[in-house]
Structure formats: C-alpha cells, structure tokens
Structure 1
C-alpha cells in the first residue's frame, strides 16, 4: 500500500471556528455525506432547512433508525481558510462536524 493510499484511510481531527466559537471537526474518507450535530446548530441558533431528499440513517451502536429531515449551512474557518458547508443534521457525539473526503 502506498503512502497516498494509507492517507486516504486516515481520519483527520481538527478544531474549527464557527461564529466565534471553537468546535471539533472530523474529515473521514469513509463517510458519504457532511453531517453536523444537533447540539452545535441548536447552540448557535443556526437556521435549518428541509432536506430535499430525507432518508433513514442506521446507527451501529444502538440499532435504531434515525430520520434525517434537516440540513444546515455552516460557515466555518480553520486558520485563514474560510468556507461554508451544507450538512445533514443528526444527533451525534463523536464530533460537532463530520465531513466526507472524496477519494
């Protein structure tokens, strides 16, 4: 396995700034969508929008299905880099933001 292939499998943890507050962000090549925690968007009072294609999400830890029906646009920065990312909203505790990394 090459170094480039190994890096694709790594999970990248960092902190980001969202509206002046620090939150945890994970970039994961194994994810297929961008996700934001309900905790973060509620705390920041960000506006959500209806998900254009609602879906069910199966959590591995408790076996329950979750209906994903909302999205939120999150303005974030890491150092000098600034961006907005559209995320599905789910109750997760692993991180505040989980971003997929295209291969």
Structure 2
C-alpha cells in the first residue's frame, strides 16, 4: 500500500522484529510512514510502522488512542475524542453500509485495473 500510494517512508527510530504477523517467519520493521486518512468528515494523519501484509487496513491502535485521548464504549463499540476542537464519534458501519462499501471498493478496483490495462496497451 505504501508503494502504491507513493507515500514517503522514514527510518524507524527503534527497529524491531515480528514473528506473528505472517507465516513467512521473522521480519524486521525498519520503516515508518505518515498516512493521511479520513473517516466520514473526520480527517487526520497517523504515523505507522511499515511491514508487508496480505491485508490492507489502517490499524489505529494504542499510540493513536493514547495521543488522541480516545474513550471507547465497549457496549456501543464507539470511539469518541476531540479533534481540532470538535467532538468526534466513530461508530461501526451497519451491515448494509458494509455491503455498499464493499461494492464501491470492487467497482473502484475494477476501474483501476481496466485503466491500467488500457495504459499498458497504449504504451
């Protein structure tokens, strides 16, 4: 994802090794990247460690939660915090929203593949 989006990486200040992430054995995390993202109207950026994965997700873990002073409601599965002076509540998608999101993603990927093939044939 980092390469495809053309994001600039930096050296990790404290490289470390992972073994549990994939079946390929041990890997060393040596890079970080700042990733801009948005969830609805909430826009932010987060510094992430870079490692090869088969999935493509932005995992907002403890550092983000700590830095943003996030409150998590286990019952409603909602995260709330203040960003740029405004209260933000991140709630899970409904099943129909998940389906709509998957359909949009599939259409977007197919359009990208078609465009890529067209560009390859023109060159």
- TM-score, structure 1 as length reference: 0.55
Structure 2 unaligned regions, length at least 5: 66-71, 73-123
* CA distance in structure 2 between the aligned counterparts of 1:46 and 1:77, rounded to whole angstroms: 16
Deviation for aligned residue 1:94? 2.9
Would you tell me which structure has more helix in proportion to its own residues?
2
Q: Which has the higher strand share?
A: 1
Determine which structure has greater relative contact order: mean sequence separation of CA pairs < 8 Å that are 6+ residues apart, divided by chain length: 1
Using the alignment, how far apart are the partners of 1:87 and 1:64 within structure 2?
21
Any stretches of 5+ residues in structure 1 without a counterpart? 1-39
Q: Residue 49 of structure 2 is aligned with which of 85, 88, 100?
A: 88
**Separation (CA, whole Å) in 2 of partners of 1:98 and 1:77:** 13
TM-score by length of 2: 0.47
Pairing of 1:66-85 with structure 2 (within 5 A)? 66-85=27-46
- Give every structure 1 segment of 4 or more consecutive aligned residues whose post-TM-superposition deviation is greater than 4 Å: none
> How many residues get paired?
64
The 8 Å contact of residues 38 and 44 in structure 2, kept in 1 or not, is answered as yes
CA distance in 2, matches of 1:87, 1:73: 6
Whichever of the two has the greater Rg, that structure is 2
CA RMSD, 1 decimal: 1.9
